[in-house]
Amino acid sequence: DTGVSQDPRHKITKRGQNVTFRCDPISEHNRLYWYRQTLGQGPEFLTYFQNEAQLEKSRLLSDRFSAERPKGSFSTLEIQRTEQGDSAMYLCASSGPILTSGIQETQYFGPGTRLLVL
Amino acid sequence: QKEVEQDPGPLSVPEGAIVSLNCTYSNSAFQYFMWYRQYSRKGPELLMYTYSSGNKEDGRFTAQVDKSSKYISLFIRDSQPSDSATYLCAMTSRGSSGGSYIPTFGRGTSLIVHP
């Protein structure tokens, strides 16, 4: 499968525990995005990497959240001291270079990691 | 008021019907407009994107943008049960890094096409 993959697909944890999710983008894509999606809502942007550099973070990304992309390939999203409000689907997407025409690049989404905090 | 408003539905139609899905927005800075389809427990899949006002057609799908009214639509002709999914509109303005376009999504409309 050459699409975006995410691991694990499901995670159940107790409040206060730390969790880490992994995203493997499409291999030639240099941009990687993390989103959070709650039931009945659209995805909300969390953060974005271009290669290994984290270029933008949403104000939704509290101090308990940290994301890395150490070698410009896969990325991890860690949530420390989880809260029940963190329960959501965490989506990763990747995209290639901006087209020469400057038109919006296509973001390809992974299947998501569904987190439940008890 | 959210930047992007979308009726969550559900919208239930018979097979073969023409479906109209809509979003309104308030941010004049939005430049690009997209429609994603999301099946249950899957990630969103890009269906179409448009840049300017007007219509864009791709098979059974037509995307329409009216920037003056801040209103976008997706039409699905000859709808099929396999079209049953949540349809998300999304709009982008350039991120602070200047290097990418961070989309703002609507909440999605649940579409059910029954045989």
What is the model's pLDDT at position A100?
A: 47
What is the model's pLDDT at position A97?
A: 65
The verdict on a CB contact (< 8 Å) between B95 and A56 is yes
Give the Cα separation of A7 and A97 in Å (integer): 25
What is the model's pLDDT at position A28?
A: 83
- Beta-carbon contacts of residue A59 (< 8 Å; ≥ 6 apart): none
- Residue B8 at interface with chain A, using a CB cutoff of 8 Å: yes
Name residues 5-64 of chain A within 8 A of B (Cβ). Answer: 31, 33, 40-45, 48, 50, 55-56
Whether omega before B81 lies within 30 degrees of 0, making that bond cis, reads: no
What is the model's pLDDT at position B29?
A: 84
Residues A27-65 have pLDDT tens digits of: 888 899 999 999 999 999 999 998 999 988 998 888 999
Give the Cα separation of A115 and A109 in Å (integer): 17
Residues A69-81 have pLDDT tens digits of: 998 899 999 999 9
What is the model's pLDDT at position B96?
A: 52
Instruction: Kindly report the nearest CA distance between residue A16 and chain B, in angstroms.
Output: 26
A95-104, B6-15, B60-69: least confident range: A95-104
Give the Cα separation of A21 and A94 in Å (integer): 15
Return the residue in B7, B40, B102 with the most chain A beta carbons within 10 A, the one to mutate for interface testing. B102
For chain A, the maximum distance between any two Cα atoms, rounded to a whole number of angstroms, is 48
Give the Cα separation of A68 and A81 in Å (integer): 18
What is the model's pLDDT at position B94?
A: 63
- The stretch B19-46 carries a mean pLDDT of 92
What is the model's pLDDT at position A22?
A: 98
> For residue A55, what is the nearest residue in chain B, using CA coordinates?
B97
**Is a pLDDT exceeding 80 seen at residue A8?**
yes
Instruction: Kindly report the nearest CA distance between residue B108 and chain A, in angstroms.
Output: 6
Nearest to B44 among A41, A109, A114 (CB): A109
Q: How many CB atoms lie within 10 A of CB A23?
A: 27
Residues B105-114 have pLDDT tens digits of: 999 999 999 9
- The stretch B72-95 carries a mean pLDDT of 92
- The stretch A80-91 carries a mean pLDDT of 97
What is the model's pLDDT at position A101?
A: 47
